[in-house]
Structure 1
Amino acid sequence: MVRRAKDDLLDEQGEGVGEQRPARIAIVGRPNVGKSTLFNRLAGKQLAIVNDQPGVTRDVRETKSKMRGHALTLMDTAGFENAKGDKIESRMRAQTEAAVMDADICLFVYDAREGVTPLDRIFAEFVRKSGKPVVLVANKCESRAGDVGATEGYSLGMGDPIEVAAEHNIGIVDLDDAIEMALRDVVLETPEEIIDTSEAPVRIAIVGRPNAGKSTLINTLIGEDRLLTGPEAGVTRDSITIDFVWQGRRVQFHDTAGMRKKAKVQETLERLSVQDSLRAIKFAQVVVLLMDATKPFDKQDLQIADLCEREGRALVIGVTKWDLVENKSESAKWLRDEAARLLPQLRGLPVIMFSGLTGKSVDRLLPAIERVQIDWSAKVKTSELNDWLSEKVQRHPPPAVQGRRVKPKYISQTKTRPPTFVLKCSRATKLPESYKRYLINGLREDFDLVGIPIRLYVKADENPYDNTVRKQGMEPLKDNPRRNR
């Protein structure tokens, strides 16, 4: 699935090197105490969405980091709320509690300006009972307003509070010292499963409209309830990265927030979520555009697909909630016909139907992703390309423009991901767009590059008799002394 020419066979899983896994550090606390800001500060980059509104973070977000030679996995968690039942706050609490139990060290964060609240005490009791090593963090200590609240942290029974101001980078060195001390008592085991890390993972972004079932699909693919799901639209806000191993190959799923029409996005928080989703598309290798089987090919779906094509990403259409469709054979034919009609720039685009909730036919998705990723990384030999070009031009020559022929002479592939070609020809600016499409469609069909973006750039062939341009260190003819004799 990664960086291979199309005709190459995929190697078997290589031998990995047994190493200790990174220490897992969970940043926990009640809502709006600055957990995401601290997460970004420790990670060294802006990853988590930060906003003054409480409860912005909902899923557990992870990232790899290093601190003084120690490999770490930082986990940003949802704010702990004392909620029960089927409410979204209750599901967020369950995710946070699971992150605490999965962590090696917990950074318990509270707001020094507000002091220790009853909710802080409830959550602190849960963290103490977990038996995990804890570093107590009094955040927002940039002024005297936090002096009294910082000292209240002693009442939580978690040791001395470390006074920091994550937003202003105050006290982070002291926090690093405390984390390093806590790491000395942590025993890290070598993972049982050895994974080949010689090649980068395949980055797969799952995108679509709100409530399409993106998080549910990833949970089904990885076989655990890792992401927060629910009937509410817009549950996911951050772009969450999930590492997974499929048939010995490393995969990274990027769960994204649902993208609505631009005119409907009014709130600042939703704009930040959409920007995070757009970044996930730009850095992905393969994008799965997830559609609701009951409402496929909405205008917003087509705009997202067009964005992926313009960004040069390999694209797979996933149609979920297939269990709700009655006449499946007719619906499948209609979906494929619509994809060909509405997205002609991605002719042959794979359309995979499944049910993310029940898991029916989900196993067809990853093989389709693998095929399109191999095509996206394909490299075609220059000799084959020029034989193909000669045949295409003989079969269908370019139309004459102003009574003069445009003559394609040479073509080569300059890069992959997506496949990019440069065509040299006379009168390059006069080559009609229709002929470019003819060549692109020919490349797609004859070299089996279906369903992926193809770039074709047309450049003028160098004219050896053009004495207005300096070529390879030669002087123009008028300045050549041998010419002037």
Structure 2
Amino acid sequence: MSFTLAIVGRPNVGKSTLFNRLVGKKLALVDDRPGVTRDRREGDARLGDLSFRIVDTAGLEEADAASLEGRMRGQTEAAIGDADAILFMIDARIGLTPTDRAFAGLVRRSGKPVILVANKSEGRGGEAGTMEAYALGLGTPLPISSEHGEGLSELYDALREALPEQTRQRPDEDEDEDEDDKEDRPIKVAVLGRPNAGKSTLINRLLGEDRLLTGPEAGITRDSISVELEWRDKRFEFYDTAGLRRRARIEDKLEKLSAADGLRAMKFAEVVIVLMDAERPFEEQDLRIADLVVREGRALVLGYNKSDLITDPHVLGKLREEADHWLPQVRGVPIVHLSGLTGRGLGKLLEAVVETHRVWNTRIPTNPLNRFLEEATDSHPPPAVSGRRVKIRYMTQHKARPPTFVIFCSRPEAIPESYLRYLANGLRDTFGLIGVPIRFTLREKDNPYDKKRD
């Protein structure tokens, strides 16, 4: 039986470093400055033979509930409420602070099993802080080092003692469930856009709860947070990402890390929703992001967010024309009018994600492909180069995700990009490959009459 463990503590005690070590990946952003983590981030962790869900939380701070720090604290309190056990972390090198003492009471009142860890205990510098931790009344502190992996065996024993039922070994409950999970994998969807486009608000509305931190401030989201959603027997895994600004405007190191984390989420996604502000659609940065998604080979959906603020019907009518003009490489890409604040258009958005994902996975048999190729080359032959025509012999689909085709021809280097765009548009119209990237690989077929070389 699995369980959920929430890591809590004041800012900059090393919660995200321990989270990354237990999940085995650098998922959470880590920096020397305090307050890097804002949303609660979940991951699948392993420690010895224990598999469990772990939650990284924002540092606990005393603040007004309406402020950004107060909303961050609300996210941490929600994580405490959902967890089976709490790992309360202090900084052994600094020792106890009034903030530690205040929030130890909060953890104690939750009624959940609590494991007290004194992080940064490597060497002699942390001995005094570890001894001070007894004063919190949360049991015996475990000296660990998240950075160096020290003390994890003691943490393993503490988990077994705190959650004896959930950590009891059951020998026959593993592989069958894993096979079922593989057959029902969720569609991975990343939501990208400029800062303050409404990405977190949209995902909160889809989930029906305030799972992600939102507010009027731009750039609240830093980590790429994944959440799961089920809709009409379809499972989705949504990734909320930090707002992407032009590279020239990014100077802060933390913003660079956040942008890189968002781009990494895009590379692991299958469908990417590029969210645009309805009052400023198709700005240069929107087009840069969409073009990046296409070049990465991901399925694309354009979300026209805050559309409830637009009353002019002519503006809405021009969207299709503008999208095809600015993004001809994915002509016909779905555009969904929606509002993350009111919930308008969310059903259509998920329908577009499912349909685009289906098209992205399309495979076309070779016979229909070559009938299309014959008709296309008869009506519009490839241009002659240096007085010699290029002979296109046949085509086959090499792979899907995105649809990728291999064309065998006489002179691959002589086929211009304009002719490949002509073939791509023909494939879209003939086989319904609307709104997804199409890739070509050109190969020269061996000439049997060429002289053999020694």
Q: TM-score range by the shorter chain?
A: over 0.9
The 3-state SS of whatever aligns with 2:118 is strand
Q: CA deviation at 1:363?
A: 1.6
Comparing 39-48 with 65-74, which one deviates more in the overlay? 65-74
Residue 202 in 1 paired to residue 187 in 2? yes
The 3-state SS of whatever aligns with 2:150 is coil
Paired residue for 2:236, among 225, 247, 251?
Answer: 251
Question: Which amino acid counterpart does residue 239 of structure 2 have in structure 1?
Answer: H
Paired residue for 1:317? 302
Would you say the 8 A contact 2:274–2:290 is kept in 1?
Answer: yes
Paired residue for 2:421, among 437, 440, 450?
Answer: 437
Q: CA deviation at 1:467?
A: 3.0
Paired residue for 1:100, among 77, 80, 105?
Answer: 80
Would you say the 8 A contact 2:189–2:236 is kept in 1?
Answer: yes
Paired residue for 1:11? none
Residue 220 in 1 paired to residue 205 in 2? yes
Q: Give per-residue Cα distances to partners, 1:97-125, cap 9 Å, x unaligned.
A: 11001000110000011111111111110
Q: Give per-residue Cα distances to partners, 1:234-282, cap 9 Å, x unaligned.
A: 0000000001112222210000000000011001100000000010110
Paired residue for 2:365, among 377, 381, 395?
Answer: 381
C-alpha distance in 1, partners of 2:32/2:414? 55
The 3-state SS of whatever aligns with 2:318 is helix
Would you say the 8 A contact 1:240–1:254 is kept in 2?
Answer: yes
Q: CA deviation at 1:323?
A: 1.4
Paired residue for 1:367? 351
Q: CA deviation at 1:185?
A: 4.8
Comparing 140-149 with 74-83, which one deviates more in the overlay? 140-149
Paired residue for 2:3? 23
C-alpha distance in 1, partners of 2:288/2:298? 14
C-alpha distance in 2, partners of 1:124/1:457? 61
Percent identity of equivalent pairs: 54
Paired residue for 2:227, among 231, 239, 242?
Answer: 242
Residue 419 in 1 paired to residue 399 in 2? no
Paired residue for 1:116, among 78, 90, 96?
Answer: 96
C-alpha distance in 1, partners of 2:327/2:297? 14
The 3-state SS of whatever aligns with 1:224 is coil
Question: Which amino acid counterpart does residue 413 of structure 1 have in structure 2?
Answer: Q
Q: CA deviation at 1:448?
A: 0.6
Would you say the 8 A contact 2:204–2:210 is kept in 1?
Answer: yes
Question: Which amino acid counterpart does residue 292 of structure 1 have in structure 2?
Answer: D
Residue 331 in 1 paired to residue 315 in 2? yes
Q: CA deviation at 1:187?
A: 8.9
- Aligned residue-pair number: 445
Q: Give per-residue Cα distances to partners, 1:391-413, cap 9 Å, x unaligned.
A: 11111111221111111101000
Would you say the 8 A contact 2:50–2:167 is kept in 1?
Answer: no
The 3-state SS of whatever aligns with 2:147 is helix
C-alpha distance in 2, partners of 1:173/1:384? 60
Paired residue for 1:280? 265
CA RMSD of superposed structures (Å): 1.6
Paired residue for 2:13, among 26, 33, 36?
Answer: 33
Paired residue for 1:343, among 323, 327, 346?
Answer: 327
C-alpha distance in 1, partners of 2:57/2:256? 21
Question: Which amino acid counterpart does residue 92 of structure 2 have in structure 1?
Answer: A
Q: What does 1:136-175 align with in structure 2 at a 5 Å threshold? A: 136-175=116-155
The 3-state SS of whatever aligns with 1:167 is coil
Residue 82 in 1 paired to residue 62 in 2? yes
Q: Give per-residue Cα distances to partners, 1:158-211, cap 9 Å, x unaligned.
A: 1100001111222122212212222215599x9xxx996323211000000000
Question: Which amino acid counterpart does residue 148 of structure 1 have in structure 2?
Answer: A
Q: What does 1:278-317 align with in structure 2 at a 5 Å threshold? A: 278-317=263-302
Question: Which amino acid counterpart does residue 238 of structure 1 have in structure 2?
Answer: D
Question: Which amino acid counterpart does residue 312 of structure 1 have in structure 2?
Answer: G
Question: Which amino acid counterpart does residue 77 of structure 1 have in structure 2?
Answer: T
Would you say the 8 A contact 2:160–2:167 is kept in 1?
Answer: no
C-alpha distance in 2, partners of 1:185/1:129? 22
Q: Normalising to structure 1: TM-score of the pair?
A: 0.89
Paired residue for 2:196? 211
The 3-state SS of whatever aligns with 2:423 is helix
C-alpha distance in 1, partners of 2:231/2:340? 17
Paired residue for 2:382, among 392, 398, 401?
Answer: 398
C-alpha distance in 2, partners of 1:431/1:228? 50
Max Rg structure: 1
The 3-state SS of whatever aligns with 2:126 is helix
Would you say the 8 A contact 1:104–1:186 is kept in 2?
Answer: no
The 3-state SS of whatever aligns with 1:38 is helix
Q: CA deviation at 1:70?
A: 2.6
Question: Which amino acid counterpart does residue 227 of structure 1 have in structure 2?
Answer: L
